[in-house]
Chains A and B, each alone.
Chain A
C-alpha cells in the first residue's frame, strides 16, 4: 500500500503566513474575514471575503497575486523539505480553480498589462525555481487534492522520486459576483454543518507539500500520504451528487488500505452551502455506517473562507499538524448541527485533544469533481 512521506509543507492564507501561524489561529478561533479589500463594495450585496491582506492600498487591486502566493507556499515547502530553491529536477503539480483569471479580469476591464502565458503558473515556477515539469490543473474546488493524486501517481509509476504538490486561488470578481448573484441574502459568516448555514464566502490561499518515495536521513516527516481517491459525479454542473461523493471516499479508503473504523479524523470540505454540507454529511454517514460516530470531523472554512482550489491541500496541511500536535481545532461558528449530521462527531466549541493516527481530507468541486485523501501520522 502507498505510504509516501510528506517532508515539507507550506501555506499562506488570510489567517497566517505559514502552517504554524494558520494552525495556531484555527485553534484560537481567529478568522480572516474582512471587508472587501480589492473590489468596489458598492457593486455587491456581500461585503466580506477572506482575502490575504497584501494589496498596495485599500480598494486597489493588482495582477499576479495568485502567482505570488503560490511561489510563497512552494518555497516554504521546498525549504522545509531541504530542497532549497533549485527545483529544476522536481515535478510540480498545481491545482487551482481560477488560475490567474483575476489578472485577466484586470487586463480586460482596466487595461492592466497581462501576458496570456501567465494564466498558467509554469513560467513563474521556471523563473523562480528553474522548474521544468510543471502542470497547472484547473479542477475547481478539489483541484489541489486532484493534484495530490497526480503527484502520488508519478512516484508510484517511477516517473519521479520527489514531487511538489500545491494549490492556489485568489478571488476573481466574476466568481465573487456570480456567487453574490445567487446568494441574495449574503451569508455573513460561514457556518459549516450548521442548520442555519446560508452559503459560503470565498477566501484566498496557497498551500504546498513535498512528497517523496522514501524519506532521507535527516528529513522531517510530517506524515504519510496513504492514498487519494478521485472521480466525477457526471451529474450536475454545480450541485453535488451523493453517489459520486460516497464513491470518492470509498475509493480513497480502498487505495489507502483502510476501513472506515480506522479513520480517526476527517477534515471536511464543509463549505457552509446548504447543498454541500448536506451531501457531505449524508455521504459520511453512509460510508462509515456503524462507525459514523467514531471519527472526529472538523473543517477550516469558517475561519479561512472557501479557498477554492487551494482548500484541499490547505486542509491536508492542517490535518498533518493536528495529528502531530494531538489537538484538533473545532468547526468555528457551528452551534446547531444540521439534521444529516445527527450521529456524526462534529468538533464544536473548544479545541479537542485528539490522539488519532489516520486522517481523511475531503475536496469536492463544481462539475462534480471529487477528491479524497487519506494521510497517516509520521
Chain B
C-alpha cells in the first residue's frame, strides 16, 4: 500500500432515476425519465454543448456545492487555481465525431457547422466544466476503457498528493445515443454523469478513498485490497459473474456505464456507508486489458 489516499468531500449525480447516493442502491429496474439538464441548471450555457458535457455540468455543479465549493474564489478559501478537473468518458464525443463524418460524406466541409469544433475534441467536457465553474487547476480527461472511472480517481489522488491541486472534481459520464449504442453493441447506455470532489486525507469529508489498484484479472485485483480489511460489500464490475452474500449489483438498473462506472461506484459507496451499512465498500471495474479496484470507508 502507498500513502496516497484521499477523502470524498462531496458528490453530484445526473443519473436517470437517482438524485441521491442512496437512490443508487434502491432504484428499481426499468425505464426512468431522462435527465433534463435545462431543468437542473438552466438553459444558459447549454446551447451547442454535447449531451455528455451537459450531463457532466449538472453533476459537477451539485458536487461542488455539496463540497462547499462554488468555483472561483469563495468562502472555502480554495481558489479555482487549486481545483483540478478529471473527467472519465469513453463515448463522450463519439456522437459528434460520427455525425460530422456523415455530414462531410454528404456535403463536404461546407455542409458542417463550426459550432461542432469544440465537441470534436475528446476533452470538451472537462474544458467546459472548468469554464463554467472557474476551475483553473490541472484539467485531465481519461478515455481509458472500462477501468477509466477508477483511473480518473487514481489520477485525481496523484494530483492531490503531488500538490498540483488542493481539490479534485472527478466526473464520470457517458451519453446514450444511436452512435454509442451501435459502437458498443449495448441496447442502452447510462446517459448520465456522476461526480465526486476529492481532497487530501484529513480534509474532513464523507468517506476515505484508497488509491485504486490495477491488475490483469479480477482475482488478483481483489487480492490487492486485502490490506483494507474484510469488505462490508462488493460493488462488482459491469456484466460481472461475481456472486455471493457480499456482492451488490449496481448495474441492473442502468444502461452500460462504461467510463462513468467507477465514479458511480464511489458515489454509491457514500450511499451505502451513510445508511449505516457495514464498510468498507470494495468496488471494481474491468476493461479489456485490466481491472481496477478501490476501497471506500468511513
- A and B co-occur in one complex: yes
Q: What residues on B are CB-neighbors of A236 within 8 Å?
A: 131
Bound form: Cα–Cα A140–B124 in Å: 9
B164 within 8 A of A: yes
Give the residue of B101, B135, B141, B287 whose beta carbon is less than 8 angstroms from that of A105: B101
Q: Once the chains bind, are B123 and A366 in contact (CB under 8 Å)?
A: yes
Expressed in whole angstroms, the minimum distance between the Cβ of B114 and any Cβ of chain A is: 5
A262 within 8 A of B: no
Task: Please provide the chain B residues from 196 to 241 with a CB less than 8 Å away from any CB of chain A in the complex.
Answer: 214-216
Shortest beta-carbon distance from B217 to chain A in Å = 10
| Contact sample, A vs B, 22 pairs, CB 8 Å cutoff | A45-B110, A101-B97, A104-B94, A105-B97, A105-B98, A120-B145, A122-B289, A132-B289, A138-B121, A139-B141, A150-B140, A150-B155, A158-B2, A172-B120, A174-B100, A174-B116, A181-B109, A181-B113, A230-B138, A234-B131, A367-B126, A367-B127
What residue of chain B has the Cβ atom nearest to residue A237's Cβ?
A: B118
Q: How many residues of A contact B (CB 8 A)?
A: 67
Q: Is B251 an interface residue (CB 8 A)?
A: no
A367 surroundings in chain B (CB, below 8 A): 118, 121, 123-124, 126-128, 130-131, 139
B287 & A137 in contact (Cβ 8 Å cutoff): no
The chain A residues found within 8 Å of chain B, CB to CB, are 42-45, 97-99, 101, 104-105, 107-109, 114, 116-117, 119-120, 122-123, 125-126, 132-140, 146, 149-150, 153-154, 156-159, 172-182, 230-238, 244, 247, 365-369
Q: Is the CB–CB distance between A97 and B122 below 8 Å?
A: yes
Q: How many residues of B contact A (CB 8 A)?
A: 71
Complex contact B127–A368 (CB within 8 A): yes
Beyond A104-B98, A178-B120, whether A126 also contacts B104 by CB under 8 A is no
The prevalent SS among residues of A at the interface is: helix
Report the bound CA distance from A109 to B161 in whole Å: 44
The contact of A132 among B98, B121, B145, B214, by CB within 8 Å, is B214
The answer to whether A237 touches B131, judged by C-beta atoms less than 8 angstroms apart, is yes
A303 vs chain B, min Cβ distance (A): 24
Contact A138:B109 (CB < 8 A) given known A133-B214, A173-B101: no
Q: Residues of B contacting A139 with CB < 8 Å? A: 123, 139-141
Interface check B80, CB cutoff 8 A: yes
CB–CB A178/B122 < 8 A: no
Which residues of B come within 8 Å of A, CB atoms? 2, 4, 80-81, 85, 90-91, 93-94, 96-98, 100-105, 108-110, 112-114, 116-118, 120-124, 126-128, 130-131, 133-146, 148, 151, 155, 158-159, 161-162, 164, 179, 182-185, 214-216, 287-290
Q: Are B109 and A44 in contact (CB under 8 A)?
A: yes
A153 touches which one: B158, B215, B287 (CB < 8 A)? Answer: B158
How far, in whole Å, are A236 and B45 apart by their CA atoms in the complex? 12
> Are B289 and A137 closer than 8 Å at their CB atoms?
no
Known: A174-B120, A366-B118. A233 touches B136 (CB 8 A): yes
On whether the beta carbons of A99 and B142 are closer than 8 Å, the reply is no
> In the assembly, what is the distance between CA of A154 and CA of B131, in Å?
28
Q: In whole angstroms, how far apart are the Cα atoms of A43 and B112 in the complex? A: 11
Given the complex, which residues of B lie within 8 Å of A109, measured CB to CB?
98, 101-102, 105
Determine which of A120, A126, A238 lies in contact with B144 in the assembled complex, contact meaning CB atoms within 8 Å: A120
**Contact at B96–A174, with CB atoms within 8 Å?**
yes
Looking at the assembled complex, report how far the CB atom of B295 sits from the nearest CB atom of chain A, in whole angstroms.
Answer: 17
Chain A positions within 8 Å of B183 at CB level: 104, 107-108, 114, 116
Contacts of A368 in B (CB 8 A): 127, 130-131, 139
Residues A126 and B118 in contact, CB atoms below 8 Å apart: no
Cβ contacts under 8 Å, B151 to chain A: 135
With a cutoff of 8 Å between Cβ atoms, the chain A residues found around residue B184 in the complex are: 116
Q: Is the CB of A146 within 8 A of B108?
A: no
User: Is the pair B85, A98 in contact by a Cβ cutoff of 8 Å?
Assistant: no
* Additional pairs, 8, CB under 8 Å, beyond known A132-B215, A134-B144, A136-B142: A105-B101, A122-B287, A139-B141, A140-B127, A182-B114, A231-B81, A234-B135, A236-B131
